[in-house]
Structure formats: structure tokens, C-alpha cells
Chain A
Amino acid sequence: MQLDSKVPGGPIQDKWDKHRFDLKLVNPANKRKYKVIVVGTGLGGGAAAASLAELGYNVLNFCIQDSPRRAHSIAAQGGINAAKNYQNDGDSIWRLFYDTVKGGDFRARESNVYRLAQVSTEIIDQCVAQGVPFAREYGGLLDNRSFGGAQVSRTFYARGQTGQQLLLGAYASLSRQIAAGKVKMFSRREMLDVVTVDERARGIVVRNLVTGEIEKYAADAVVLATGGYGNVFFLSTNAMASNVTATYRAYKKGACFANPCFTQIHPTCIPVHGDYQSKLTLMSESLRNDGRVWVPREPGDKRPPNEIPESERDYYLERKYPSFGNLVPRDVASRNAKEQCDQGKGVGETGYAVYLDFADAIERDGKAVIEKKYGNLFQMYEKITAQNPYEVPMMIYPAVHYTMGGLWVDYNLMSTVPGMYVLGEANFSDHGANRLGASALMQGLADGYFVIPYTIGDFLATAGTNDVTADHPAFTESEDAVKAQATKLLSINGKRTVDDFHKELGHIMWEYCGMARNAEGLRKAQGLIQKLRAEFWENVLVPGEEKDLNQSLERAGRVADFLEFGELMVIDALHREESCGGHFREEYQTEENEAKRDDENFCYVAAWEYKGDDEAPVLNKEPLEFENVKLTQRSYK
């Protein structure tokens, strides 16, 4: 397959403006003739559904949860970046662009990142107009904080609940359009297939999660904003329903899956404490603004933290990276935590934790100031661990958090299936091999409010309305396949529960395709996944009925897809014989144990194409060109 990124020509600063001018428009009166399906109500999907409806399109919007307001975006804590330069500290669109390309370890497409930085400022304006209660300074102007990978303060926040407030803003706009009749909302629906006819997306097939009925919907274009696939690891900071099903099934219908092995392990999460654990809880990276990361200098030092004198502590991030200190990017912070623990310096019961200490900040600023900034995070920490972080240092450890990989999209955010767009975490486009903090919220909203409203019009104006209805045989075929899968899952009646399989898959992925990877481990993982998948289809136990609210069946479908997708991740990780960002291949590191890229051979996007269940996926490459940011070895020293 030939990948055409459709990046417009001209200087990078002018590309988006010029492109917007070149895009065909649908005239206002004609917009109401078009129907667009948006799957997902997170920042990407919610913003897209609302904005497309505002323009006059008829939108069908789907989500798994009982209300669009509960999409996983709600859980984002720390903040959202924008190149406003309100702090007068040297920020600019160019700097945000530069930081993001460098933070992504030169594996993102420059033109998309530049556009993201450009529209970032409009996002803040839009959100404030919607009534998002961002934090403010005494004078009433907007406040900012710093995030990892940047030396300027450009992160806007609403206490520790930024994602919640941004999502409620998008949800408010969406609700207004639902009331106006422009959006028809379908909650408690799970998309299980995309229908394509003559190489164009024609609609989707979903399961009604209350009745178990399979429903078919046709439209003129399909937008997927279904989030990330971090739950392939079982334990992650993602919400429980986060899945790969929507994007993976789109992959099976012809959408290339790009860089699936690029996953982000977040450095500051509450450590794992038992094998019954269902998910991991993030402690926002913003905590690294004031918290200092340390471990005991001597391996095996089991004294309580307050009994370890200053001279016997190692503030290893400050020591190794004097200019960024505790604010190094996530991949660097995570790998360093692992390295310390592997050397036996980890703390806590399991030895898989490091301290994040606020004592100095509390002494410097007073408890009240720290409480105002992080009160709800501290409270959350205490609820879970029963320890008071105002008095004893927090214990943290890296956990799976975000997936940079996703469906391949061109500059217009269209996948390799014409008429199917992909937004937010579900696409691959802007973060390269590592995402900087506070830039996922930015990307989701950029895609939804400011990119798709323009680019989708060009497709509709060119391709016209879709004459394939939901009665078409292609829909029936897809419906039958979806039903057959449910019937099969319920009939196996084996001995192991869905969660049991999911946990085992998670162990394999974490062990061999997690924070550090090597060829031997990856090969082993591939075999283990194949074996587990075969066992799943013989021995899974899914109780309940098909035409009913059946949460076990829902999970079974998702795990079935994770069991296939996990292998694709491993294949991708194995083929990429370099280290970059979150993809750390032990064989490829600098003398100082930093990720060592191979720009000669791997400066491309790996877009995998599905060829059939028994065929190996085919690798397509989109070469990456860096005309504006010089390819260099990343350094945060």
C-alpha cells in the first residue's frame, strides 16, 4: 500500500492556513444532507461531535458508558499545554512544536505537530468561553504550571481535575447539540465493526449493551475517537472499558495500524500491591514540579524514609539531569526508576517503588500552598494507601498510561480507509515515540474542535453522500460475523475466566514488551501470546446470555482482540531495531543507558496492514523528514 500523508507544501508556518484555503467546502445549506458517525465521546469524539453538529452536519454519536460525560478523558489530572506565553517566559508556537518533536524522540510527523502547537492557543480560548473553571492568579488571569520535557510554564489546569473540566466543557456543547436535535446520542453501545463497500467506510455495527441486540448504522463518514489500548497490559491507568476493539476491527477492515509498540509508561503511579488489583492509579506528573524523587544510596536499605539522612539519599534525577532534574520526560523518568529498583534500591514492601518527597516544598511554601495545588491528589493517595503524603514521602512506580501508536492517519486525520477518520489517542500522529505531559488533552481537543471540522468537509464535498444503506449485504455480513463471535464465546464453556486470560496476557506484555525490550524476550512473547490465544478459544468461560446486559461477554470480546493485537505490538517492537522514546530496546542504548535511535534505518512510521488471520501483517513505511527541527540525540542533562 502506498501511504500518502497529504502534507501540504510550503513553509511549515503556512501549511495549515494554506491547506484550509485549499480544502473544498460544503455549503451551509448542504451540510444538513450529510450524516456523520462519531464513535467516542472523550475529548476527541465529544469535541468533534459537538463541532460538526454546530456546523450543521447530522451526527450519530456512540459511547460505551451510560453517559457521554464518563469517557476516559474525564480522569486526566494534570493539565493541558498551550503556547500562550502568558508567563512571558519565552514560550512560542515554535517552542511548543520543538519540545513536542524532540520529546517524541523524532518519530512524529513535523507538519502535524506544528499544527497542533498552532491551534493550542485557540483551545484555551474555546474552553474558557465554555466556562471551564481553569485555575487563576490573584489578578484573575489564567495560571500555569510546568510539566515534564519543557522549561517553560505552559500548562493550564483546573486543580487536579483538568480532564474532567475539559470533558465537561465538550459534554456541555454536545448536550446543547443533542437538545437541538443535531446529535443523536447512543450510549451503552459498543462498536464491533466498520462496514466498508468499494473502499469507503459506510457505517458501523454496534452491540446495544443493555439489550444485547446488534444494531447497524450507515453514514457518509465515520470518525473513530475511541481512545488508547493501554489495557492490553491488563494493569494500566486507563479506565476499565478502554479497549482496542474499535481500532483493531477497523484495522481488520483495511486501516493501517501505526507504531503499535509505542506505549508510554508513566513514572508516577501508585505501586502495585496485590494480584487482585484491577487497575493502577496515576499520581499526576505535575507533582514532579514540587516533589523530589529519591531512593536510598545503599541497596537494601530498609529504614523508614525519615530515618535516612540527606547524605544517604540519592536524588538520582537531579544528579543525572541537572538542567531538567525531576522534570525529565516520562520515558526517561520511568526507565531510571526501574534501573534504581533493579539495582536493589527500590523501597516499600515489594522493592518496586521510589520516593516522591514533598518535605522540601512544604517547608519552602507551607502546607497550605501545597494543599491548594495538589490537595485532591494527596487525598486520593491517602485513600488508596492509607498513608499521609504530607508526612511521609509518596511511593511511586511506573505504570502503563498512554499509547502513542494508533491507526495511521494522513494530515487530514483520515485513515487508509477513505471516509474513516481517527482522532485523539486512537490515532498515531502527534506524539512520536513518547508523549509529553499535558499534550494528549491538547491533541484530542485540537483534532475535535479545530481539525476535523475543516478536513471532513473536503471529503464529503468530493465523495458526496453515501448511497449504501444499512440493508446492504455488507452490513448483514458484518452483523452475522459479530453475532457469530458472541455465540462462539458463550458456547466454549471452558474453565478459565476472561479476567484470568487478560491478566496472563498483561504479564506477558509487561514482562517482554514493557519498559525495556529485547529480541529474545519479544520472540518468546510472541509464542506465549499465540499459545494463550489458542487456549482462550478453547477454554474461556463466559457466563450469561447474548441478548442481555452481559458484562462478561463485553470483556471477552475486548480480550479476544487484545490477544491478537498484543502480537502485533510484539511484531512491531521486534522489527524496530533501535531505541526511541518509550520503545527501549536493550540492545540499542548509549553508554549512559539512554535510548539510541537509528535514524539511518528507522526514521519512519511503521504502518501495519492486515492481510488475514493466518497471514503475517505487511509493513508499510512512511518516511519522516525533519526540515525544521534538527535530528539530534535527545539530551535533558
Chain B
Amino acid sequence: MTKTINLTLKVWRQKNAGDKGKFETCQARNISTDMSFLEMLDVVNEGLTVDGKEPIAFDHDCREGICGMCGTVVNGRAHGPEKGTTLCQLHMRHFDDGDTIAIEPWRARAFKVLKDLVVDRSALDGIIQAGGYISVNAGGAQDANNLPVPQDKADKAMDAAQCIGCGACVASCPNASAMLFAGAKISHLALLPQGRPEAAKRAWAMVKAMDALGFGNCTNERECEAECPKEISIVNIARMNREYYKAGFFSGEKN
């Protein structure tokens, strides 16, 4: 049933990357429980604007859980309390009247806060640029059905490929590691026959890039898996490690 609730928000406000930033309190009144979390923020922002204040900056685009643009830490949890849900798909029916909600940006060494809840996640693009692709140019590909892929392999590849690159894994990891993100891409491609020729090289290059871009190491905390809105499994990290060690021991990729 739809009802309306009143909430107190403690929101991280930060003018720009150079500013120190602090929590500020504001009220969210008459919030319909059918609203999404971002629609609740829209309502708050409309109010702030009319009151002559600056609205809260936050990233978002598709608002249907697929672009990976949204994401903040809500009450200490990346994308809030619901499992397998992005912030834009989190609905206010999961909150109670009178709740206080703390909202802050992703925090990680590799992600710089740009303003309020908006962070710079370009380091994730950097990991992909290091090798998260199959080296084929447009044109010249053989007929698609010349390369059968066992259904279970295709399914597993798809499970990994679903990553939306939001950065929740990094934000929830005590070491700010991007292993789940990189592991998902490495697994997606390594599971497919098309991706095998470069599998070792790819794993080696992407792991090196992660270190260089300032992401931490994996110490098996499993927070990433718990908070991933697409429920990507940490099996992918194990798979990445296998590819990485293969690259290190058996081939010349480390050079």
C-alpha cells in the first residue's frame, strides 16, 4: 500500500574536489513509499531550489538499474539496504516514517569526490583499457555460428558480463579493491572461446592496471559480493587469479 513518510537526511555536502566536505541535515517530507530513492532526492532538491539553496548533486541516468551511473552509500551500505538493487531501483517502501538516513559518496583512494555525492570513477575505465577487450577490428569476422559456445559457458559468461561498473564493490571493500569488477570482465572473456587467445595477457595487464590506478588488494572480505547490485559472484575473482597465475608462471606475459 502506498503511504507517505517523513525522513531526516544527513547528506554529504562537498563543494568540489578541493573542499573538505561535511554532513548536512535536511528534511524529506511527504515522501510517497512508491517513490524510488532518487525520486525522493528529486523532491528534496526541488525544495532546496525553491528555498534558494543549492540542490544536492548526484549521478544518475537510466534510473532502471543498468547504466551504473547512480550509487551512494546509504546508512553505511552501498546502494542501500536491499540486496541486488541499485539506488535508482531502491524504493522508499523499504524505509519507515521518522527514519534518519545517512547518504554519502563512494569513498576509495581511486575515486575522487567531485561534488556532494558525485565521484570520479574513470579509474574503472582505465582497468578496461588495459585489456578488457578482444582484439578484433570491425569487418572480417567469420559467421557467428561457426563458433558454437556451450550453453553453460555462455550462461556463466553472461553472469559475469552483467556487471554495470557502478563501483559499489570498490566502495564497500575495506581495501577499496576493484577485484570483483576486474574479475567479472576477465571471467566473461576467458569463459568464451573467442576470449581465450588473449586470456593470460589480459589478466596480467588488468591486474597490473588495478595496482597502478590506486585500487587496493583483495583480502577475501566478500563485502563486494554482498553489496553488488547485480549479485556478481566472487567465483570470478578466483577465476581471475587462475588466469593471472597462469600468465605469470607459464607465459611471457609479465614482460
Chain A positions near chain B (C-beta within 8 angstroms): 47, 50-51, 54, 65-70, 72, 74-75, 84, 86, 122, 124-131, 133-142, 158-159, 161, 163-165, 168, 171-173, 175-176, 178-179, 185, 187, 210, 239-241, 273-274, 276-279, 281-282, 380, 383-384, 386, 449-450, 453, 495, 497, 499-500, 541, 543-544, 548-549, 551-552
Residues of B within 8 A of A548 (CB): 16, 115
Residues of the A chain whose Cβ atoms lie less than 8 Å from the Cβ of B151? 136-138, 140
Interface-centre pick from A128, A135, A495 (highest chain B CB count, 10 A): A128
**Residues 157-194 of B at the A interface (beta carbon under 8 Å):** 157-158, 161-162, 164-165, 188-189, 192, 194
> With a CB–CB cut-off of 8 A, which chain B residues contact A171?
128
With contact pairs A277-B39, A549-B16 given, residues A131 and B188 touching in the complex (Cβ less than 8 Å)? yes
CB atoms of B64 and A380 under 8 A apart: yes
Interface residues of B in 36-59 (CB under 8 A from A): 36, 38-39, 42-43, 46, 48-50, 52-55, 57, 59
Q: What is the minimal beta-carbon distance from B110 to any residue of chain A, in angstroms? A: 14
- Contact indicator A66/B143 (Cβ below 8 Å): no
Say whether B16 contacts A67, CB under 8 Å: no
A279 in contact with B63 (CB, 8 Å):
yes
> Known: A497-B46, A552-B55. Contact between A84 and B161, CB under 8 A?
no
B61 nearest in chain A by CB position: A239
B93 at the interface (CB under 8 A from A): yes
Central interface residue in A50, A133, A176, A185, by most chain B CB within 10 Å: A133
Instruction: Tell me, rounded to whole Å, the shortest Cβ–Cβ distance linking A280 to chain B.
Output: 10
A380 to B230, CA, bound (A): 12
B129 at the interface (CB under 8 A from A): yes
Is the Cβ of B38 less than 8 Å from the Cβ of A278?
A: yes
Q: Is the CB of A173 within 8 A of B138?
A: yes
**Residue from A139, A273, A279 whose CB has the most chain B CB atoms within 10 Å:** A279
State whether A140 touches B67 (Cβ < 8 A). Answer: no
Instruction: Specify which chain B residues have a CB less than 8 angstroms from the CB of A241 in the assembled complex.
Output: 61
* Chain A residue contacts of B46, Cβ below 8 A: 497, 499-500
Cβ contact within 8 Å between A133 and B158: yes
The minimal Cβ–Cβ distance linking A147 to chain B, given in whole angstroms, is: 18
Query: Please, could you name 22 A-B residue pairs with CB atoms under 8 Å apart, sorted by A?
Result: A66-B121, A75-B67, A122-B141, A126-B136, A127-B144, A129-B134, A133-B154, A140-B149, A163-B66, A165-B158, A165-B161, A173-B136, A240-B62, A241-B61, A276-B39, A281-B63, A383-B91, A500-B46, A543-B48, A543-B53, A544-B54, A548-B115
The answer to whether A497 and B50 touch across the interface, beta carbons within 8 angstroms, is: yes
For A185, the chain B residues whose CB sits under 8 A away are 125
| Given A129-B136, A142-B144; A66-B120 close (CB under 8 Å) | yes
Are B85 and A383 in contact, CB atoms less than 8 angstroms apart? yes
Contact flag A549-B62 (CB < 8 Å), given A65-B69, A84-B144: no
Q: How far is the CA of A273 from the CA of B91 in the complex (A)?
A: 13
Q: Tell me if B188 and A133 are in contact (CB < 8 A).
A: yes
Which A residues are CB-close (under 8 A) to B189? 131
Chain B residues with CB below 8 A from A69, complex form = 68, 125, 128, 165
Q: How far is the CB of B215 from chain A (nearest CB, A)?
A: 16
- Smallest Cβ-Cβ distance to A496: which chain B residue: B50
Q: Are B54 and A453 in contact (CB under 8 A)?
A: no
Chain B residue with minimal CB distance to A86? B145
Q: How many chain B residues touch the partner (CB < 8 A)?
A: 75
Alpha-carbon separation in the docked complex, A133 to B36 (Å): 31
Residue contact B65 to A380, C-beta cutoff 8 Å: yes
Decide yes or no whether B34 CB sits under 8 A from chain A.
Answer: yes
Taking a contact as CB atoms under 8 Å apart, the answer to whether A551 and B121 are in contact is: no
CB pair B129 A178 closer than 8 Å: yes
List B contacts of A168 (CB < 8 A).
161
B35–A274 touching, CB < 8 Å: yes
Contact B50 A54 (CB under 8 A): no
Question: Most chain-A CB neighbours within 10 Å: which of B39, B136, B149?
Answer: B136
Contact indicator B49/A552 (Cβ below 8 Å)? yes
Determine the distance from Cα of A197 to Cα of B149 in the docked complex, in whole angstroms: 52
Cross-chain contact A273 with B67 (CB below 8 angstroms): no
Contact A449–B138 (Cβ < 8 Å): yes
Q: Does B81 contact A (CB under 8 A)?
A: no
The 10 A-B residue pairs with the shortest CB-CB distance in the complex, in nearest-first order? A140-B148, A172-B133, A129-B141, A125-B141, A128-B144, A179-B129, A133-B158, A133-B157, A51-B138, A449-B138
Q: How far is the CA of A365 from the CA of B234 in the complex (A)?
A: 32
Establish whether residues A67 and B122, one from each chain, have CB atoms under 8 Å apart when the complex forms.
yes
> Which residue on chain B has the smallest CB distance to residue A376?
B162
State whether A274 touches B125 (Cβ < 8 A).
no
Q: Which of A127, A176, A497 contacts B133 (CB 8 A)?
A: A176
For residue B89, which residues in chain A have a CB less than 8 angstroms away from its CB?
380, 383-384
For chain B, residues 71 to 91, give those with C-beta under 8 angstroms from any C-beta of chain A: 85, 89, 91
B255 interfacial contact with A, CB 8 Å? no
Complex CA gap A17/B89 in Å reads 47
Please report the C-alpha to C-alpha distance between residue A128 and residue B138 in the assembled complex, in whole angstroms.
11
- Name which residue of chain A comes closest to B151, CB basis: A136
Interchain CB contact under 8 A, B154 and A134: yes
Q: Is the CB of A70 within 8 A of B42?
A: no
Q: Are B138 and A453 in contact (CB under 8 A)?
A: yes
Q: How far is the CB of B25 from chain A (nearest CB, A)?
A: 19
Contact status A126-B67, CB under 8 Å = no
Check: B222 CB closer than 8 A to any chain A CB.
no
| A72 B120 Cβ-Cβ under 8 A | no
A593 CB → nearest B CB, Å = 33
Q: A172-B128, A239-B61 are in contact. Are A161 and B69 (CB under 8 A)?
A: no
* A161, B160: Cα distance in complex, Å: 13
- Residues B94-150 near A (CB distance < 8 A): 114-115, 118, 120-122, 124-125, 128-130, 132-139, 141-145, 147-150
8 more contacts with CB within 8 A, not counting A65-B69, A239-B67, are A67-B121, A126-B138, A173-B137, A384-B89, A386-B93, A450-B139, A543-B53, A544-B55
Q: Across the interface, which residues of B come within 8 angstroms of A179, CB to CB?
A: 129-130
Chain B residues within an 8 Å CB radius of A136: 148-151, 154
Complex-state Cα separation, A541 to B54, whole angstroms: 11
CB distance from A25 to the nearest CB of B (A): 14
Residues of B with C-beta under 8 A to A543: 48-49, 52-55
Q: Is B32 interfacial (CB 8 A cutoff)? A: yes
Contact of A239 among B62, B129, B158 (CB under 8 A): B62
CB of B157 within 8 A of CB of A497, answer: no
- Does A141 contact B61, Cβ atoms closer than 8 Å? no
Task: Tell yes or no: B60 within 8 A of A by CB.
Answer: yes
CB-nearest residue of chain A relative to B17?
A210
Q: Is the CB of A175 within 8 A of B129?
A: yes
Are B122 and A281 closer than 8 Å at their CB atoms? no
The answer to whether A499 and B128 touch across the interface, beta carbons within 8 angstroms, is no
Is B142 in contact with A129, judged by CB distance below 8 angstroms? yes
CB distance from A558 to the nearest CB of B (A): 13
Q: Considering the chains assembled together, what is the distance between the CA atoms of A299 and B128 in angstroms?
A: 56
Q: How far is the CA of A179 from the CA of B151 in the complex (A)?
A: 32
- A278 and B39 in contact (CB under 8 A), knowing A66-B69, A67-B124, A175-B129? yes
- Which residue, of B64, B121, B130, has the highest number of chain A Cβ atoms within 10 A? B64
Q: Does any Cβ of A come within 8 Å of B195's Cβ? A: yes
List B contacts of A65 (CB < 8 A): 61, 67, 69
Within the complex, the shortest CB–CB distance from A285 to chain B, in Å, comes to: 15
Q: How far is the CA of A134 from the CA of B147 in the complex (A)?
A: 12
- Chain A residue numbers with a CB within 8 Å of B135 are 176
Closest-CB distance, A549 to chain B (whole angstroms): 4
Q: Are A278 and B42 in contact (CB under 8 A)?
A: yes
> Which chain B residue shows the least CB distance to A499?
B46
B118 adjacent to A175 (CB under 8 Å) = no
In angstroms, Cα B122 to Cα A178, docked, is 13
Tell me, rounded to whole Å, the shortest Cβ–Cβ distance linking B7 to chain A: 14
CB neighbours (8 Å) of A75 from chain B are 62, 64, 66-67
**A65-B67, A70-B61, A187-B122 known; A128-B133 Cβ under 8 A:** no
B residues near A54, Cβ cutoff 8 Å = 137-138
Given the complex of chains A and B, what is the CA–CA distance between A543 and B91 in angstroms? 28
In the complex, which residue of chain A has the Cβ closest to the Cβ of B40? A276
- Do A139 and B148 touch (CB < 8 A)? yes
